[in-house]
Amino acid sequence: MGSILSGAEAASLVRALPGVDAVGLEARAAGLSTRSVKTTSKAWAIDLAISMIDLTTLEGADTPGKVRSLAAKALRPDGDAPSTAAVCVYPSMVAVAKEALAGSGVLVASVATGFPAGQVPLDVRLADTESAVRAGADEIDMVINRGAFLAGDLERVFHEIKAVKAAAGDARLKVILETGELATYDDVRRASWLAMYAGADFIKTSTGKVGVNATLPVTLLMMQAVRDYRALTGVQVGVKPAGGIRNTKDAIKYLVTVNETLGDDWLRNEWFRFGASSLLNDLLMQRQKLKTGHYSGPDYVTVD
């Protein structure tokens, strides 16, 4: 869906957003973290979390072999465990992933736009996006221009997201805010709205490549933004925390937060994802524990 706003309008709306009280936000996130999820509800949550993972490899050392191994894991993580939502790779690996996952329903997501810094000219970022889509990417994970955002050039950020959205065509667009670089909750909220006004299908916290990645308060704040955006426009936008979510306990905290902030409408992998790599094995080990009654170990899940 194209934005009906001009860049100036979007920028001015975003600047007028009310502030966020950091302590209150963190207190709410901490409160949600105290939820205790046991037995049947835990089993349900673990499978849901598995199905929401964008199983990710984003390394210079990525090879077709590595990506095929990851794709196999995404398809059949362990026994009767559900598939993950997608695998997430660099554009150069999209074709390999696409072939490995052909006909499976597991999607291929690709980071593009000069990931992770985005510090390349816009035409290069657009070409990057188009090439990923041509190679078969179902979803594009773009990074916003943090430099322009922090310099106050919100209109430029808005126009760039719109341009990438156009370049992505039918692929769903996840807009990475890189919240660790935006530094304040007020800016995270502004960036969330700016991305949504520009046509984001998902807003995503992080690249996983900076010091601070997804945190529960930041993700909660982004959830509040998509909730409010739908209330205002009728358009539903997804949320994807990425980086730093490594174990089942953390994943369940996020799901509890989705449950109590957004509700059922977002409790599906169409609207909520985890950008993660090591999380999957921890979920699988916990899954085994629930089935067998004893704790599992790393040798009982596959290294991919």
Element (H, E) at 281: helix 279-292
256 three-class SS: helix
Residues 93-112, interacting with other proteins (CB under 8 A): none
Selected from 5, 13, 81, 267, the binder of other proteins by CB under 8 A is 267
Query: How near is the Cβ of 111 to other proteins at its closest, in Å?
Result: 21
60 binds other proteins (CB under 8 A): no
236 binds other proteins (CB under 8 A): no
Q: What is the DSSP letter of 243?
A: S
Q: Cα separation of 203 and 292, whole Å?
A: 37
Specify whether 249 is catalytic.
no
Query: How near is the Cβ of 75 to other proteins at its closest, in Å?
Result: 25
Q: Cα separation of 204 and 241, whole Å?
A: 6
184 binds other proteins (CB under 8 A): yes
Q: Do residues 233 and 53 touch, judged by C-beta distance below 8 A?
A: no
User: Given the complex with other proteins, which of 32 and 171 has the nearer CB atom?
Assistant: 32
212 binds other proteins (CB under 8 A): yes
Specify whether 289 is catalytic.
no
Q: Cα separation of 285 and 298, whole Å?
A: 8
180 binds other proteins (CB under 8 A): yes
238 three-class SS: strand
Q: x/- binding map, residues 9-48, to other proteins, per CB under 8 A? A: ---------xxxxxxxxxxxxx--xxxxxxxxxx-xx--x
Beta strands in 19-92 (DSSP E): 53-56, 86-89
Query: How near is the Cβ of 1 to other proteins at its closest, in Å?
Result: 25
Specify whether 78 is catalytic.
no
| Sheet of strand 172-176, all strands in order from the earlier edge strand to the far edge | 238-240, 202-204, 172-176, 139-143, 107-111, 86-89, 53-56, 274-276
User: CB neighbours of 220 closer than 8 A, spacing ≥ 6?
Assistant: 25, 28, 29, 32, 257, 261
230 binds other proteins (CB under 8 A): no
294 three-class SS: coil
183 binds other proteins (CB under 8 A): yes
242 three-class SS: strand
Element (H, E) at 175: strand 172-176
Residues 126-155, interacting with other proteins (CB under 8 A): none
Query: How near is the Cβ of 303 to other proteins at its closest, in Å?
Result: 28
The active-site residue, picked from 54, 78, 128, 141, is 141
User: Given the complex with other proteins, which of 38 and 294 has the nearer CB atom?
Assistant: 38
- Structural tokens at position 299: 């040798």
Q: Please report, as ranges, the residues that interact with other proteins according to CB under 8 A.
A: 18-30, 33-42, 44-45, 48, 179-180, 182-185, 187-188, 212, 215-218, 221, 224, 253, 255-256, 259-260, 264, 267
Catalytic site residues?
A: 141, 204, 240
